Amino acid sequence: MIRKYTYFLTVALLVIVLTGCGRSVEERTDDAMQSARDAFEMNRKQPTEAIDGVEFYNPVGWTADVMKAERTFVISKGNQTYTAQFDPNAKQDSRMYYELVMTDSSKKYIKQQTFSDAGVFGFAAISAHGDSSVEVVTGSGPVQVTAIVRNEDLIAAMERMMEIARSVQIAT
């Protein structure tokens, strides 16, 4: 009799856990967009790394490499990589990267949103990329950060990517 109850309790707990883990990408996008908006508005991360005249927030444990000639830097940890592009001539209210992203007809965006704070323009966009991952783009003025992330990492990735984008300072 106790075995029977243990079995049913185990099955019930398993169903509850799997239901919570099985949120769809569409359900995660609202939380991810809110996370990106919060990171954009708080603008709390200061640059922690300076390479070749480009200063930016580099999360603890991540490595960074700047290719100034290509106006790009790459931040990575394990199998996760964020690629940031920057335009040293663009202003904080630049919509250039946003317009480039939105005119890319090869991508179907699940969700996109724009932000504005004290004359600074920002955006975030999510497009499908296979069954278990999405392509994420965040940007703030002269900076765009792009990555392919697993669905379950979407919310944390959007926040981290926006923190990086907002922190970039380019020496001219």
> What are the boundaries of each domain within the chain?
23-170
- Tell me what pLDDT residue 52 has: 82
Query: Which segments of 43-123 does DSSP mark as H helices, in order?
Result: 96-102
Q: List C-alpha distances in Å: 17 to 21, 126, 131, 132.
A: 6, 26, 21, 19
Task: State mean pLDDT over 113-137.
Answer: 93
CA gap 60, 98 in Å, rounded: 28
Q: What is the mean pLDDT of residues 158-168?
A: 95
Distance CA 72, CA 19 (A): 40
Residue 19 pLDDT level (bands cut at 50, 70, 90): very low
Query: pLDDT digits over 53-90, tens only?
Result: 889 999 999 999 988 788 999 999 999 999 999 998 99
- From 84, 100, 76, 44, select the one nearest 170 (Cα to Cα): 84
pTM comes to 0.82
| Helix H or strand E encompassing 36 | helix 25-42
pLDDT at 11: 42
Band (23; pLDDT cuts 50, 70, 90): low
Q: Please, what is the average pLDDT of the chain?
A: 86
Q: Is the pLDDT of residue 105 over 70?
A: yes
How large a percentage of the chain has pLDDT more than 90? 66
- Mean pLDDT for 153-168 is 95
**Domain spanning 23-170: which CATH class is it, in words?**
alpha beta
| pLDDT over threshold 70, residue 12 | no
